[in-house]
Chain A
């Protein structure tokens, strides 16, 4: 159920018809905001990458290239959706849909602080962030099925890489969050954001980054791997796999994969902001703007990583996942739980 965390203004929540009306409006609004924001994430990335690589970046369409994304979107929508011979028709079409759905579904439990004590969320589940992890792990099906259905060996290799990558990083990702749960004592994102400490004179919210720095590092690496972004973009790997699972995709279906990737970046940045940076709490600044600033900075980190680090080799990626992040994550859980018991 959708709730703004305020007293029921016009008795609208208790009225079933009014309630459904609010639900539909709010969900549509969320989808609209997200997809628009995604477009600007893409724009932001192209500008920032251009800046890092000392080239202009998009500057032709609109003032400062501002409408480039609109032009790309229109182009993507109207291009022919070409499917080569021998593809598995059903799966070829379904895969991009799964990609977008798996990223959007996570927003069911992600809360957004707006102003003062007004918060927006769709569903308040006890498992909270586990739901996000669960649905975002479905993303790998999109890549694997897309890669398989394309009937192209480069696509297939891309799909296999995605599967191996997911298996290697899912564990580290889950483990990195355990210290956060241990400290906060809840899996609900609302509780994690609202975590407060009472340290001597200071009493108030604190970014969990200070209490669980190792968790943040592991989660950041795993989140980059989860979104298949450089330096973990092995499933695409233009140079070796000529685009990997995307090789045979074009037009609207390609566009959907593209959307899913940047939506994923946005989702993960928001999650990291909520988990480790205190969400919408920033002194003197209203909630929505505070969250916006944090998300933009985190999106910039994603872009920065892409602009700076070369792609890892396949075996290096597996080694990093299983031999570095996983043991580190286990040690992190152990140390944190000992500290939590000692200090409580």
Chain B
């Protein structure tokens, strides 16, 4: 087990723990911070895949900007806990059954799946240069479409 594997398991564990935290914490601010944790550990996973640029963008955009806006709204709520009065009494039981069923279904489907061997990577894979060239050749159309998407989102708000 090399260092990369250890980092992978650590980051994955943190990401999963963060995901659970998003769902399970009762205080909204802890939910948001758990989400930040998920974003950061995903960034580490990107770095492991030698996608350095995606790592930086993940940290700057998601952890640094998007989540700050979440936090901006959540902090206005003050230190309150979620009120648990509207829950149906048997909701926990039902959701546990559904979760178990879905998890079992996923495990059953994915057991023994043969994953593709990854394609051999370029020497410049993941670098800023390769992403820049990719955006303006192979991925030109989706790139431009994304810019219109963002423009429309800006018009909309």
Name A's B-contacting residues (CB within 8 A): 86, 88, 91, 125-127, 130-131, 133-135, 137-138, 140-141, 144-145, 147-148, 151, 156, 159-160, 163-164, 166-167, 170, 174, 187
Given known A148-B75, A187-B128, contact A125–B52 (CB-CB < 8 A): yes
B53 and A127 contact, CB distance less than 8 A? yes
25 A-B interface contacts by CB (under 8 A): A86-B79, A88-B79, A91-B29, A127-B52, A130-B56, A130-B57, A133-B60, A137-B59, A137-B60, A137-B63, A137-B65, A138-B64, A141-B71, A144-B71, A144-B75, A147-B75, A148-B29, A148-B71, A151-B79, A159-B75, A163-B69, A163-B72, A166-B65, A166-B68, A170-B65
Query: Does more than half of chain B's interface fall in helix, strand or loop, or is it mixed?
Result: helix
With both beta carbons as reference points, the residue of chain A lying nearest to B132 in the complex is identified as A181
B36 at the interface (CB under 8 A from A): yes
Task: Identify A127's interface contact among B33, B36, B56, B75, CB under 8 A.
Answer: B56
Alpha-carbon gap, A180 to B59, bound state (A): 22
Residue in chain A with minimal CB distance to B68: A163
Q: Is B146 an interface residue (CB 8 A)?
A: no
A134 adjacent to B60 (CB under 8 Å): yes
Chief secondary structure at chain A's binding surface? helix
Chain B CB within 10 Å, residue with most, of A144, A151, A174: A144
Shortest B68–chain A CB gap in Å is: 5
Which of A127, A140, A147 has the most chain B CB atoms inside 10 A of its CB?
A127
Which residues of chain A are within 8 angstroms of B33 by Cβ–Cβ distance? 91, 145
Complex Cα gap A134–B58 (Å): 9
Please give me the 8 A-B residue pairs with the lowest Cβ-Cβ distance, nearest first: A137-B64, A134-B59, A130-B56, A148-B75, A127-B52, A163-B72, A126-B127, A127-B56
**A163 in contact with B63 given A130-B53, A130-B56 (CB within 8 Å):** no
- CB contact under 8 A between A127 and B79, given known A160-B72, A174-B60: no
Extra pairs beyond A91-B29, A126-B53, A151-B79 (13, CB < 8 Å): A126-B128, A127-B56, A134-B55, A135-B59, A140-B64, A148-B71, A148-B75, A163-B68, A163-B71, A164-B72, A166-B65, A170-B60, A170-B65
Within 8 A of A (CB), among B10-49: 29, 33, 36
- A residues near B72, Cβ cutoff 8 Å: 144, 160, 163-164
For residue A90, which residue of chain B has the nearest CB? Answer: B30
Partner pick for A167 among B36, B57, B65, CB 8 A cutoff: B65
Q: Are B55 and A138 neighbours in the complex by a CB distance under 8 Å?
A: no
Complex partner residue of B56 from A133, A141, A166, A167, CB under 8 angstroms: A133
Chain A: minimal CB distance from B81 (Å) = 12
- Assess whether B60 is in contact with A130, with CB atoms less than 8 Å apart: yes
- Per the 8 Å Cβ criterion, residues 100-130 of B in contact with A are 126-128
- Please pick, from A133, A138, A167, A174, the residue contacting B63 in the complex, using a CB distance under 8 A: A138
CB distance from B18 to the nearest CB of A (A): 14
- Pick the contact of A134 from B29, B64, B128 — CB < 8 Å? B64
Measured between beta carbons, the chain B residues less than 8 angstroms from A166 are 64-65, 68
Q: Contact: B68 with A127, CB < 8 Å?
A: no
B127 contact set on A, CB distance < 8 A = 126
Set of chain A residues within 8 Å of B64, measured between Cβ atoms: 134, 137-138, 140, 166, 170
Question: What chain B residues lie within 8 Å of A141 (beta carbons)?
Answer: 36, 68, 71
User: Which of B56, B57, B78 has the most chain A CB atoms closer than 10 A to its own CB?
Assistant: B56
Complex contact B55–A127 (CB within 8 A): yes
B43–chain A nearest beta-carbon distance, Å: 8
Contact between chains at A156 and B75 (CB < 8 Å): yes
- Chain B residue at smallest Cβ distance from A87: B79
A219 to chain B, nearest CB (A): 16
Cβ-defined partner of A160 (8 Å) among B55, B75, B126 = B75
Q: Shortest distance in angstroms between B100's beta carbon and chain A's nearest beta carbon? A: 32
Q: Taking the nearest CB of chain B, how far is it from the CB of A244, in angstroms?
A: 13
- Rounded to whole Å, the gap between the CB of A204 and the closest CB of chain B is 26
Residues of A within 8 A of B55 (CB): 127, 134
